[in-house]
Amino acid sequence: MFKNTLRVFDTKLERQSVMVNQICLDNAYMACAYDLANHLSRSQKRKVGTVIVSRTNHIIGDGVNGMPPGDSNQLETPDGQTKLEVFCAEHNAFGKLATSPYSSEGATLYTTYSPCRQCTKQIIACKIARVVYAEEDTGNEHGSLDLLRRSGIRVERFINRVVNDDQMTRQDEGRMIDFDEDRYR
């Protein structure tokens, strides 16, 4: 009985440690996606960055929204509409993924803006397991996030998560999980 209780405590601590680790990774990779967007995207309307991370924590694809190689750097028409030729950040990340030695199966895709319908299909085809997005395209009538969920992909909205030594709180799509290390001592 005592042994069993100890085992439960171990499991909780292990889970807590995994969660803290995952939050640190999420913060780092989303910061990376934002850095790419801010430094490399030439969009005047919305700069988007994407990073794909393998199950083994290797960055296997990254990209920003942009024009095809050799084209002008103008992503928008004079009246502010996004040109049809524009590649999504995810498209460009998938391009790099094609030359990566690591598998995309079980990978996580971080994106600063929720994916469009076409990229959603590609995410599913690449067997990506988890999508973390920062801002949602509320004008997306095609329900990309729902399609991802229906396909068994874990979808999470990224929110600033603070991790410190004493306590970590994670709010995930309205679900609040509190970790208090003292409870498990």
Least gap, CB of 37 to Zn ion (angstroms): 14
- Looking at 75, 119, 131, 148, which residue binds Zn ion (CB under 5 A)? 119
Residues 6+ apart with CB under 8 A from 61: 50, 51, 52, 93, 94, 95, 96, 97, 100, 104
Least gap, CB of 150 to Zn ion (angstroms): 18
- Looking at 23, 25, 116, 155, which residue binds Zn ion (CB under 5 A)? 116
Q: Which stretch binds Zn ion (CB under 5 A): 27-35, 96-104, 106-114, 118-126?
A: 118-126
Would you say 149 and 172 are in contact if contact means Cβ atoms under 8 Å apart?
Answer: no
Would you say 45 and 75 are in contact if contact means Cβ atoms under 8 Å apart?
Answer: yes
Subset of 72-101 contacting Zn ion (CB under 5 A): 88
* Helix spans in the chain (H): 2-40, 89-97, 117-125, 144-150
147 binds Zn ion (CB under 5 A): no
Least gap, CB of 175 to Zn ion (angstroms): 28
* Helix spans in 105-174 (H): 117-125, 144-150
Least gap, CB of 49 to Zn ion (angstroms): 13
Q: In the complex with Zn ion, which residue's Cβ is closer, 30 or 88?
A: 88
Q: In the complex with Zn ion, which residue's Cβ is closer, 109 or 168?
A: 109
Least gap, CB of 125 to Zn ion (angstroms): 13
Q: In the complex with Zn ion, which residue's Cβ is closer, 63 or 179?
A: 63
Reading the block at residue 69, the tokens are 């190689």
- 62-82 exposure pattern, b = at least 16 Cβ within 10 A, e = fewer: bbbbbbeeeeeeebeeeeeee
Residues lying near Zn ion in the complex (CB under 5 A): 88, 116, 119
